A and B are shown apart, each in its own frame.
Chain A
Amino acid sequence: MDAGASRNGGGRVAAGHHAELRGVTRVYPAVAGYRPVHALGPVDLDLRRGEFFSVVGPSGCGKSTLLEVLAGLQPPSEGKVSFEGKPVHGQVPEGVGVVFQEDASFPWLTVWDNAAFGLRRAGVDSAEIERRVGDALAFMGLKDFQRAYPAQLSGGMRQRVCIARTLVLQPRLILLDEPFGALDAQTRLLMGDEVLRLWRRTGATILLITHALDEAAMLSDRVGVMSARPGRFLDLVETKWPKERDSTIVSEAGFGEVTARLWHHLRGESMKALGQSGAAAAGGRAEA
């Protein structure tokens, strides 16, 4: 199903599209002893400017592949990807920031230097660096830890360092690849609140990859539900949450309905994915 043309009214409005995927597939070529893996697609996706869009799907369905293709970190095998009307190929476009699931903080740099890394590379003047980094660290609650090294911080704080490092570059599209996957449930809820604050403040478009239905339902304007590998969009759920929201939305009556709808699709797909994992272990390779 075309995620941009949802049955909930998410029709295509070209002027509002911030990023687009058209007929995108990704097939990992065969490597010694393993067959090629058709990981993704074909998928169509229209991201509206300024929306919070989440993608949920069973393990190994190609969610991270989708994000990397959109970011320009992987080429699509077929189809077209564009950001702000310009084709994406070969490199991450200016204006796109990515936060990864793994801890990507630089252990040899302090929190401050981690956050300032991209700005220094770009040759931004020191007063501007001071302003943007100070602002980002204050926003992410890291001001008191600016001289600390990542190893002295908790997993959640390290992830915030990575978000701050992306944030200072003022991206217009922020791609989050399961950034809270390694965190405990309470910290994830609180991090979700911080991401919502970040989204409201920056006005950026956010695409979040997650396997947590409650996280997707809580944070998003729209949630794309993906099938088991090769990942395709099965449904697009529009949450209709107000822009001013936080983790307390989980107590809203509608929250249960949204998660129930997501699970309705995902249950069967997750069962299929489990079967695929077994088959892959027997003779093929499963790629996320």
Chain B
Amino acid sequence: MSRIGWIRLAVLLALVALLEILVRIGSIPYKTMLPPSEMLTALVRLLAAGTATRDIVQTLEPFFATYYAVPFFIFYPVLIAIFDLSLLPIILMGFAFAVIAMCIATINGLDRVPRVLGKVARMHRMREFETAVRMKLPAAAPHLFTGLKLCVAYSFIGVIASEFILAPSGLGHAIAYAYNDFDNRTMYALMLFVMIVVVTLNMLLHGWEQRLLKRWHGR
């Protein structure tokens, strides 16, 4: 992140700290607003208890479903304006492309975890977080792999396309540079390289997934 970016972040944190102090010293009545630290604690507590998680997921589900209908490449210039021409906007674009595919796959996977496993977790007196990590996520693993494979593909699209449009370096930038320079050999070589990387990653994930499914289904 650039120096300006760090300054912006510092200003934001200072404002949050100011709010915290104002509530703590009573300038803002406690009944009107909680200090930000207590808001965060309450959120963590709700999520850990699992009572809010389901409601949050249900609320967000329609947004997830329509997420890819939004051409969010239009936000790329905005990200550059905020974070400058650095790696961060490209990483954010890659993340934005991939994250919802993973969220949808995770929700699908968790929905299909047999309910009896929840009872087994309770028999072992496991808390919500431990149940999620040690029981629900492993049980949802086949669906998570589907999400992971999509993630790889989507994040490559996001990163390469962002570099292609506006970046000082990177594979996408090199492909665009070769294209503009009529350097077909370099352009096709780089395109082939990207394809090999993506296909290899997906094949590795596929192999891992197949091994897992063999355990799951015994075939």
Interface of A with B (CB < 8 Å)? 68, 71-73, 91-92, 94, 96-98, 100, 102-104, 106-108, 117-118, 121, 149, 151-152, 166
Contacts and interface: CB of A to CB of B under 8 A. Distances in A.
B184 to A, nearest CB: 48
Contacts of A108: 138-139, 141, 212, 215-216
Interface stretch (B22-30, B47-55, B121-129, B185-193): B121-129
B48 to A, nearest CB: 16
Contacts of A71: 123
Given A102-B114, A102-B116, A106-B139, A149 B123 contact: no
Given A106-B138, A107-B139, A108-B141, 8 more contacts: A91-B122, A92-B123, A92-B125, A98-B119, A102-B116, A104-B114, A108-B139, A108-B215
A152 B218 contact: yes
A104 B119 contact: yes
Interface residues of B, number: 21
Interface string B191-219: 00000000000000000000010011111
A153 to B, nearest CB: 8
Interface string B100-121: 0000000000000010110110
A73 B119 CA distance: 7
A110 to B, nearest CB: 9
A11 to B, nearest CB: 32
Interface string B127-167: 00000001100110100000000000000000000000000
A71 B215 CA distance: 31
A270 to B, nearest CB: 26
B62 to A, nearest CB: 19
